[in-house]
Amino acid sequence: METILKYFADFSPQQIQQFQALEGLYKEWNEKINVVSRKDIDSIYLHHVLHSLTIAAVADFKEGMEIIDIGCGGGFPGVPLAIFFPEVTFHLVDSIGKKLKVVEGVCEAAGITNITTQHTRAEDIKGRKFHFAVSRAVAPLKELWQWASPLIRKGHTAELPNGLICLKGGDLHQEISESLTRPKMLPIYDIFNEDYFQEKYLLHVPKL
């Protein structure tokens, strides 16, 4: 938890309580349904919560916005972002139902009320539009953008233009080239000066 407070302040008592609850809740759920790797569970605040909050460091989501988390897994980045932005609605989508069971259990226990879940593939969602899509290490950028683009409203309703914000690692040059997109790419190490974030990046693809 200290890792989070090192970079962010001005949390309400409720937000601090919710962030503090995550470690115990994920450890408990992970015993039943493995959503966080065994080697990562003891570093959940650095490897998962702070990593997710990279998006909060660059995107100022406004009250009333709707964000879709594509392939949310056990709830990252959506759960930490929902705590950070309590006036924003997050729709967490995954094709594996048991992972959403973890998300729902964590939200219920921590009192997180601005998350909805849907057991589906993003490409099968029809008739809904969101201000942003977020994602963490789910699929190559080409596929992610194909899934996300139809779901994103055009516009500029925050500091960043509406679009896809995803967290990725490694050498991304070929992946970006194959995606035929021109994302803005930020090294996470420049935002959070922790060795874990070397070779990890935030990509933003605007919906033009």
pLDDT value, residue 36: 87
Q: Which domains does the chain possess? A: 2-206 (3.40.50.150)
State which residues of the chain have pLDDT below 50.
none
| Residue stretches of the annotated binding site | 71, 76, 122-123, 136
At residue 52's C-alpha, the angle toward residues 21 and 114, to 5°, is 60
- In sign, the C-alpha dihedral spanning 57, 12, 109, 30 is positive
Q: What amino acid is encoded at 39 in this protein?
A: K
- At residue 85, φ and ψ (nearest 5 deg) are -120, 75
Closest Cα to residue 72, out of 102, 30, 110? Answer: 102
pLDDT, tens digit, 9 for 90 and up, residues 174-195: 999 999 999 999 999 999 999 9
- In sign, the C-alpha dihedral spanning 155, 156, 161, 165 is negative
Closest Cα to residue 24, out of 110, 115, 103? Answer: 110
Q: What's the CA gap between 59 and 46, in Å, rounded?
A: 19
pLDDT value, residue 195: 96
At residue 167's C-alpha, the angle toward residues 91 and 110, to 5°, is 45
- At residue 187, φ and ψ (nearest 5 deg) are -70, 125
| Residue stretches of the annotated binding site for S-adenosyl-L-methionine | 71, 76, 122-123, 136
Question: Is the pTM value of this prediction over 0.85?
Answer: yes
- Provide the 10 A C-beta neighbour count for residue 112: 23
